[in-house]
Amino acid sequence: MWPSRTIAFFIGFWTLCALALSNPIFGIVNYVLVYQMNPTNTWWGRPLADLGVRFSLLAAATTLLGMVFGRKHVPSIRPVVSIWEIGVLALVLLAALGLAIGYEYGPHTLTVFEKLWKMMLFVVVIGRLVTTRLNIRLFLWSLVVGTLYIGYDAYTAPPSSFWLGRLEAIGGPDFATTSGTGAHLSAMLPLVGVAFLIAPTWKLRALAAISGGLAVNTIIMCRTRSAFIGLLAGGLIAILAAPRARRYRIHLMIGVAAVLAFSLADEHFITRMKTLTDPKLVEHDPAAATRLRVWQLAEEIIADHPMGVGPGNFTRIIGEYQKEHYKRSSHNTVVVCFSELGIIGGVVLLLMVLGSLAYLFINARLADRCDNPIETKMMVYGSLISVVTYFVTGLGTERFYCESFWWVMVLPLCINRMVRREMLDSAEAMLPVLSDNDSEEVSAFGRVDPSY
């Protein structure tokens, strides 16, 4: 007999697969949940692993099929291809070029490239489906539920899940390490906060509050300095950029979250964070010293290979520059992109991050013209904090090949497409009740605004 959790997941997964065939947004929800739960790597998922089913592949496949069979639920988007998505294509093409001219071609590089293009394909799909208000809400709540699961998994983790006092092997493969978990949850916290603020019922608010509390507890157990720095940067933005309509409520939430985090922080966590401000401790910290040396070597790699060493090859080639660092991760999202995809790839990455921030700026300006201005401002606000938090965290841990990093980066584009659609729908709805001259003016208004 399967455990009850196994049965619940199995039923829920196939239900969402069936729903995705008629409305592909349920495929997005399904994939996001599977990604965060990683069922086949859990005790309750062992019976599922024996089935030999690739759940993430099935979730993605039903999403794509749903875009064909359930075309009426696929939102129209303008423009059909954005500049940001051209950046996605550029990164994939540069990675493909790296296979041919990079440092070494083999099964590992091919596996990394395969992950990259599949990941980016799904990001493009998100940019097309998560573009209505309802779909964005569903996407946000799938992240809330996934965060809740990871937080609960961490809360109930056995002692064997800790290494040197730090939590390991929780959640999906992209954040199974302590740094990955901390980075992921740090970026999810602002989005969980947005879900709390826009939740229509107290039950959903309670769900978001529990999810956020467990996420904070898990981040503390990870004791990841890069995530802590990212949260500090995100927290500063959260205070300064809080929308006027909810400013006092948001500042109160931030204060409560800070008190909660402080009450949960133990001596081990505080001692580790102190190394960020004490030069003597940094000098004697092996991890910090190693990272600095790896980044110095990365500069030499970039100088010697301006077109990149190819996807997944950084950990191999660095051993040729200093053999004791063979297989050592870059621990930096920007560094790994510049190293593996070349200077052009690194520039494209930075431009895409700036593009995400630019979309958020435009969204904030146009929020008052949407169907629900306050909710739109909350979405923009949470997305801004999440982008800043994840990017800053990514400067201390490698997130370039992590799916949730790109989900956060594409969300501003999704919100922008929602904003444009609602503005155009409002303008078109006004046309029948206006005079001919006014109709021409509104029609022109509808044509001008999409250029933002």
pLDDT tens-digit readout, 283-339: 556 666 677 888 889 999 999 999 999 999 998 889 888 887 777 888 899 999 999
pTM of the predicted structure, to 2 decimals: 0.90
**Residue 166 pairs with which residues in a beta bridge?**
163
Report pLDDT for 443.
Answer: 40
User: What pLDDT does 450 receive?
Assistant: 40
Between strands 162-163 and 166-167, the pairing is antiparallel
Contact call for residues 218 and 185 (beta carbons, < 8 A): yes
| pLDDT band with cut points at 50, 70 and 90 for residue 433 | low
Q: What is the pLDDT of residues 173-210, one digit of tens each?
A: 787 678 889 999 999 999 999 999 999 999 999 999 99
Torsion sign over Cα 414, 204, 189, 243: positive
Cα separation of 94 and 433, whole Å? 52
Amino acid making up residue 313: N
Burial class (CB in 10 A: 0-12, 13-18, 19+), 321: middle
- Cβ neighbours of residue 204 closer than 8 Å, sequence gap 6 or more: 141, 195
Share the mean pLDDT of the chain. Answer: 88
Task: Supply the pLDDT for residue 281.
Answer: 56
* 75-79, 97-101, 362-366: least confident range: 75-79
Q: Find the mean pLDDT for residues 274-287.
A: 65
Task: Give the pLDDT confidence score for residue 431 in this predicted structure.
Answer: 61
Q: What are 405's two structure tokens?
A: 């990093």
Provide the terminal-to-terminal Cα distance of the chain, rounded to the nearest Å.
Answer: 56
pLDDT(99) > 80: yes
Per-residue pLDDT band for 45 (boundaries 50, 70, 90) equals confident
Q: Which two tokens stand for residue 45?
A: 């998922």
